[in-house]
Structure 1
Amino acid sequence: MMNPEKRKLRRQLRNDHLRQKFRKPIPRAVVPSFFTLMNLFCGFVAIVQIYEGKIEFGAWLIVLAAVFDMMDGFMARLANATSEFGIELDSLSDMVSFGVAPGFLFYSHSLNELMIIGIIVSALPVICGSMRLARFNVDARIEDPDYFKGLPIPAMAMMLVALFLIFQDSGALFEGFKYGINSVIIPVILLLSLLMVSTVPFDKIPKFKKGHLRKHRGRVYLFIFYFIAVIMLQEYGLILVFSIFIFKGVVMALIRFWKEIHEEPVQG
């Protein structure tokens, strides 16, 4: 007959073995993936709210999706948890929140009045956004660490949502145009869609590392200004921030292009 002490020790060892077997560490990618899924969830709920007629609420949900999108990238870098799975999941979420949702928002609000033209224009954020995200996924490992190639789809979405929210707040601003907000939003969608599939470089959010902060001090100050402007001015801050962001990228690209074509050939 087994000694009670030995039986107790054996049972303890077996329980310890089972605990070790089933106690697996939580993968580091779980936290950024949670924020990515919250981005996707906000995008889906935004579409539902827009469909139910709560268009302004849907617009703010797209803004909330952008907050989660920014957080997932920050948490992935903080935890050093960047992965192929995370890149793919992030792109799929962005397609819904910043491609489908803004396109559906403007189609539901005003572009449906233009029938087939409205459908085509509403589809551009989705079509060009999908091309932009596909290119990003292919080039993710070799992309410039400081710049995006082409306008990021969240920036395009925030610009469109800001325009919509300003229209809701101050519709009189658009009364002088023949087709109201459509007179403004159609050329804006065309321009932003073109910039998404372009190779124009746009600044990435600064990484909070000592060497990076020292190298890009001006960009850090600019992004702090962006953050404060959005918090204080809300939709007006959004349109100010993303107008500066887009204008800066385009102007710097034009300056680089001008320098390249006017650069004197080196004498042999």
Structure 2
Amino acid sequence: MTYLLPHIFTTLNIFFGFYAIVKVIDGDFFKASLGIFLAIFFDIFDGRIARLFKIQSRFGLEYDSLCDLVSFGIAPALLIYQFSLKGFNKIGWSASFLYATCVALRLARFNVKNLFKKSYFEGLPSPAGAGILASSVLFLLKTDIDPIYKTYGLLILTYLVAYLLVSPIQYPSFKEFKIKKAQAFYFLVFFILGLTIIASNPSFYLFIIFSFYLLLGPFLFFKNNRKNFFKNFTKKGTFKS
């Protein structure tokens, strides 16, 4: 039973991903976004359960990737297309197609490199990519905002997320994040506090959280490489008078 537990969570991942697709077809973008977030929830825990019980396997990795492609590739691509990009005709569906393809490429690269024990992700993780698109839809559904942000803003965002998925920019994975026994109580308090804050306005706070993580990778990349960046410009004589 222990061996099946991670696969059960992975199956719930694709279940809610498929649920999101059905709701997109029905035109219920709120429930479609909710389905994607539930898929993210179960995707987070399937890998952690496998590591906890030391039952990681090649089958589990491949199954997880195929489910991720549905939940975090196809479902968000259809959601963002039907919600906003449909009005752009060929440009709209090609942007959605590019996003879905970049998710597939990112998952394939992850499997080939087999980054089980890395403390970082190479490129934006596909659940985070799906999360930023779904949270953007939720935010725009609940906010009286200029229609241009629902069209051109989401078009630009889709291209940006697609690039970050296959980019070499590193994102923290938090896989090696461990809580000491003495810190468990305080972590629980902060977790409940954070959950309460998010529950007060989920469409806003989920958008803020995923946007922060989206920008965290480029920020850390620039921070870690700024010395080399400025050094290269200096060598080329950019700053010479």
Q: Verify same fold: TM over 0.5.
A: yes
Q: Which residue of 2 aligns with 1:245?
A: 213
Identity of aligned residues (%): 32
From 35, 54, 57, the counterpart of 2:9: 35
The list of structure 1 runs, each at least 4 consecutive aligned residues, that deviate by more than 4 angstroms after superposition, is 223-227, 261-264
Q: Which structure would you say has the larger RCO, counting Cα contacts within 8 Å and 6 or more residues apart?
A: 2
Structure 1: distance between partners of 2:171 and 2:113: 15
Root-mean-square deviation (CA), in Å?
2.6
Contact 1:230–1:241 (Cα < 8 Å) also in 2 = no
C-alpha distance in 2, partners of 1:226/1:108?
Answer: 35
Corresponding residue number in structure 2 for 1:20: none
Aligned residue-pair number: 226
| CA deviation after TM superposition for structure 1 residue 259, in Å | 2.3
Is 1:106 the counterpart of 2:80? The answer is yes
| Compared CA separation, residues 101 and 252, structure 1 to 2 (3 A) | same
Between structure 1 and structure 2, the one with the greater Rg is 1
Which residue is 1:187 aligned to?
156
Alignment CA distance shift 1:30-1:238 (3 Å): same
Q: What TM-score, normalized by structure 2, do the two folds share?
A: 0.85
Query: How far off its partner does 1:96 sit?
Result: 0.3
Deviation, structure 1 residue 124 = 1.9
TM-score by length of 1: 0.76
Unaligned 5+ runs, structure 2: 233-241
The answer for the alignment partner of 2:50 in structure 1 is 76
Contact kept? 2:132, 2:211, Cα under 8 Å: yes
Letter in 1 for 2:145: L
Whether the 8 Å contact between 1:165 and 1:235 is mirrored in structure 2 is: yes
SS at match of 1:86: helix
For the residue of structure 1 that corresponds to 2:63, the secondary structure is helix
Q: Decide whether aligned partners of structure 1 residues 102 and 245 sit closer, same or farther in structure 2, where only a CA change above 3 A counts.
A: same
CA deviation map 1:7-28 (0-9, x unaligned):
xxxxxxxxxxxxxxxxxxx4x3
Pick closer, same or farther for the CA change 1:226–1:167 going to 2, 3 Å: farther
Any gaps of 5 or more consecutive residues in structure 1? 1-25, 215-219
